[in-house]
Amino acid sequence: MFSTHPRPSPLEVPRPVTLLVVNPDTKVRQLVEKAIPEHPRPKMFLTLSDNFASAPATPPPDVVLINLKSETQCDFTQLSKVWLRWPGTQVIFLSPFEDIHLWAEAVQLGAYDFLPKSVDPDQLQWVLQGALLRRRVEANRTSSRAARNWGSI
Give the model confidence (pLDDT) of 132-153 as tens digits.
Answer: 899 888 888 876 665 666 655 5
Report how far residue 128's alpha carbon sits from residue 131's, in angstroms, rounded to the nearest whole number: 5
- The model's pLDDT over 80-121, given as tens digits with 9 standing for 90+, comes to 888 888 888 999 999 988 888 888 999 999 999 999 989 999
Report how far residue 73's alpha carbon sits from residue 8's, in angstroms, rounded to the nearest whole number: 30
CA dihedral 88, 94, 99, 102 (to 10 degrees): -30
pTM of the model: 0.77
Give the distance, in angstroms, between the CA of residue 20 and the centroid of all CA atoms in the same chain.
Answer: 8
- The model's pLDDT over 34-65, given as tens digits with 9 standing for 90+, comes to 887 665 555 555 555 556 666 766 678 888 99
